[in-house]
Structure 1
Amino acid sequence: MIAARVRRMGGGHWLLLYALILGAWGLLYAMALPAALREGAQIYGADFLQSLCIVTPDAAGFGRIILMWALMSAAMMAPTALPAFATYEDLGHTGETRLGALVAGYLGVWLGFSMIAAGAQMALFQAGLLTAFGDSRSGIMSAVLLAVAGAYQFSPAKEACLSKCRRPLVFFMAHWDEGAARNGVRLGLVCLGCCWALMALAFVGGVMNLAFMGLATVIMVLEKLPDLGRWLTRPLGFVLLAASVWVLFTSI
């Protein structure tokens, strides 16, 4: 059964989706500043980057930050939804058109999230709480974000959203008549309910920190698996709360 599922996920429309995910990661890699340039900016200031014609996210404006968050959301969240996408296609046997509408609706929700996150990044940067690279300047803010993410791991809202992500068959059967696009939006909202707090930790780990993005993606993929995920959610909450306390005390 697993082998048959893998074969079905090798069609042209699936390859296009994989290319979208890999392309998003590739663009994020191209947009990320090398560590050497980050260190140089810390020593010589922002003029160092400008002299090399490097455009930092704050200088590029709101539109580029939205694009960056949209790419990050697509790269990180689309892999977590692959089992749900496959389940939807298995239910309908309708091919690439409806799957495309489902994915479009799903990513549309994350585009909305990207606009909010970009606005938050601009506001926090202007308030002096973030660097130009999206790294937190405030130990207190980092501790609060970690505490919120940790506490959310134990919340009924998180559990309700995770239960739908872990059982996509039941979820889609309940809303099948609403069509692919609306099911995609519903799935996107459920996944947003699962993962918004973990995504907000980008302001702690660094918005363009590829290592953080990769680790967070793996955690969110594993958390949505029915058997493994239920053993991960609460321990992760304890780890985040402990990290919050540690960051708070080390920043005082």
Structure 2
Amino acid sequence: MATSGGNGPATGLAPVYTAARARLGLVAALWVVAAVGWVWTARQMRGMDAGPWTSLGSLGWFLGVWTVMMAAMMFPSVAPTVALYARMTKRRSPLRPWLFSAGYLLTWTVAGLIAYTVGVTATRILGDALAWHNAGRALAGTTLIVAAIYEVTPLKDVCLGKCRSPLGVLLGSWREGNAGAVRMGARNGAWCVGCCWALMASLFALGVMSVPWMALVAGIIAVEKTVPWHRKVVTYATSAVLLVLGILVLVAPDMLPALVIPSGDRMPMS
């Protein structure tokens, strides 16, 4: 397993690359699921991007869209880890890699439920105070800047190290059986949430129903977790991008071509 200052493939990524090459069919299947998720999500979100703090709709609708979004955004970057798990369980059950993936999605679904609860509660308590032309713009910019700061914290480094060195994580939390596969996937998802929660908060700040911003955040996550560069280089680059976005939202939001400026008087979170 990679140490905190590990250098990618020489320490943590080599096993997942090897496993991905050995399990190309599984990796391709996960990419197909992600592609279907992107198409479905784009159709569901058509005409719904109202900018930062876009309406989240009903709980059931939001969780359905959120879960498909997470499959679309996360499966490409987690596919090598699932392939590694599949290689380690190849004599046990071909179903377990999919149960592992289901556990991974379950953790992200819980994260979405928490985000929905926070958003709806904040709107009901603060109401118009969170409208874009009141505190909404400042909140969006501040969220992006906080995300930029989180990128260079020790906690982010630990979580990203787990995501980029999954062999040690899998071996250290091994559970047998189908239930064990779900639990291991959920545990892997928890490390991923720890790694990516600030990026997801940034997505809410930029417009959670915006496919372009969703694609940008998904791309950043994939680069952070799978590109064989020294992870300090990746995290500092990501931090710089988020910092620039946050400053632009605060001082010149019109300079962001994909940002929809809310025109309503209320922050439509529910």
Inter-partner Cα distance in structure 1 for 2:85 and 2:196: 21
Q: Does 1:221 align with 2:219?
A: no
- Tell me if the contact between 1:164 and 1:190 (Cα under 8 Å) persists in the aligned partners: yes
AA matched with 1:24: G
Shift of 1:249: 3.3
Q: Does 1:10 align with 2:25?
A: yes
- Tell me if the contact between 1:74 and 1:110 (Cα under 8 Å) persists in the aligned partners: no
TM-aligned CA distance change 1:215 to 1:227, over 3 Å: same
Pairs aligned (count): 227
TM-aligned CA distance change 1:160 to 1:63, over 3 Å: same
Which residue of structure 1 lines up, in the alignment, with residue 35 of structure 2?
Answer: 22
Which residue of structure 2 lines up, in the alignment, with residue 52 of structure 1?
Answer: none
TM-score scaled by length of structure 2:
0.73
Which residue of structure 2 lines up, in the alignment, with residue 50 of structure 1?
Answer: none
Inter-partner Cα distance in structure 2 for 1:23 and 1:247: 32
- Tell me if the contact between 1:57 and 1:65 (Cα under 8 Å) persists in the aligned partners: no
Q: Choose 68-77 or 105-114, whichever is displaced more.
A: 68-77
The 5 A counterparts of 1:123-142 are 123=121, 126=124, 127-128=127-128, 129=130, 138-142=136-140
Which residue of structure 2 lines up, in the alignment, with residue 31 of structure 1?
Answer: 44
Inter-partner Cα distance in structure 2 for 1:157 and 1:171: 16
Inter-partner Cα distance in structure 2 for 1:235 and 1:202: 17
What root-mean-square deviation, in Å, do the aligned CA atoms of Structure 1 and Structure 2 show? 3.0
SS in 1 for 2:25: coil
Which residue of structure 2 lines up, in the alignment, with residue 236 of structure 1?
Answer: 238
AA matched with 1:211: P
- Tell me if the contact between 1:57 and 1:64 (Cα under 8 Å) persists in the aligned partners: no
Q: Does 1:112 align with 2:125?
A: no
Inter-partner Cα distance in structure 1 for 2:197 and 2:86: 26
Shift of 1:184: 0.7
State the structure with bigger RCO (CA 8 A, min sep 6), 1 or 2: 2
Which residue of structure 1 lines up, in the alignment, with residue 199 of structure 2?
Answer: 198
- Taking only the aligned residue pairs, the percentage that are identical comes to 32
Shift of 1:108: 0.6
The superposition leaves residues 215-245 of structure 1 with CA deviations (integer Å, 9 ceiling, x where unpaired) of 1111101101262261211121123223323
Shift of 1:213: 0.9
AA matched with 1:9: L
- Tell me if the contact between 1:206 and 1:212 (Cα under 8 Å) persists in the aligned partners: yes
Inter-partner Cα distance in structure 1 for 2:28 and 2:235: 31
Shift of 1:28: 0.8
Inter-partner Cα distance in structure 2 for 1:218 and 1:3: 22
The superposition leaves residues 7-49 of structure 1 with CA deviations (integer Å, 9 ceiling, x where unpaired) of 62315xx5653443222212211111248x97xxxxxxxxxxx
AA matched with 2:86: E
Which residue of structure 1 lines up, in the alignment, with residue 66 of structure 2?
Answer: 69
Shift of 1:90: 1.5
AA matched with 1:23: V
TM-aligned CA distance change 1:101 to 1:154, over 3 Å: same
Stretches of structure 1 lacking an aligned partner (at least 5 in a row): 39-55
- Tell me if the contact between 2:151 and 2:236 (Cα under 8 Å) persists in the aligned partners: yes
AA matched with 1:6: R
- Tell me if the contact between 1:139 and 1:248 (Cα under 8 Å) persists in the aligned partners: yes
Q: Choose 191-200 or 62-71, whichever is displaced more.
A: 62-71
Stretches of structure 2 lacking an aligned partner (at least 5 in a row): 1-13, 254-270
